[in-house]
A = this chain, B = another copy of it.
Amino acid sequence: MLKLSNRGLYGIKALYELANNYGKEPLAIREISKRHGMPVPFLEQVLHLLKKKGLVKSRRGSNGGYTLSRSPDKITLGEAVIALEGPIALCDCILKRDPDNKLEKEMRCVASNIYRKLGEKVEQAFNSVTLLELAEENSDKTYIATCK
């Protein structure tokens, strides 16, 4: 269905909270979890993915938590989605490339070129949205937390 998994959706909600919290003290997983009804242990995994890709920083111990590692206008939804869900590739054939960055023969199919072009368009679309815009989108606070 070309949909995001919960991993992706949860991660984006977490980034939304961190964007609104940017410049302040770290935000704890428990607090982020509470605001959107997301399970804490799963959110730990999700934030770990974002940390591995350098989108967020963490501070351990008392008063610890997570912060964005860059300002919200410098982080795109594209980076977030790729960190959470892996590379955008409609078909695996796009990922299997030889050292010259050409598709390996065994991994080409009738639509490889088209999948590649479409994937690039999708990635561009996601990269055109920053966390700042995501945060501003909801400045009226009318959102409901329970949507998955």
Contacts and interface: CB of A to CB of B under 8 A. Distances in A.
B109 A134 contact: no
A70 to B, nearest CB: 19
Contacts of A77: 114, 118
Interface in A14-51: 16, 36
A91 B125 contact: no
Interface in A94-142: 105-115, 118, 121-122, 125-126, 129, 133-134, 137-138, 142
A85 interface: yes
Contact of A137 (B88, B110, B125): B110
Interface in A53-108: 77, 81, 85-93, 105-108
Interface of A: 1-4, 9, 12-13, 16, 36, 77, 81, 85-93, 105-115, 118, 121-122, 125-126, 129, 133-134, 137-138, 142-148
Given A3-B91, A16-B110, 15 more contacts: A1-B85, A2-B2, A2-B85, A3-B89, A4-B115, A13-B109, A13-B110, A13-B111, A93-B147, A106-B146, A107-B147, A108-B142, A108-B143, A109-B144, A118-B126
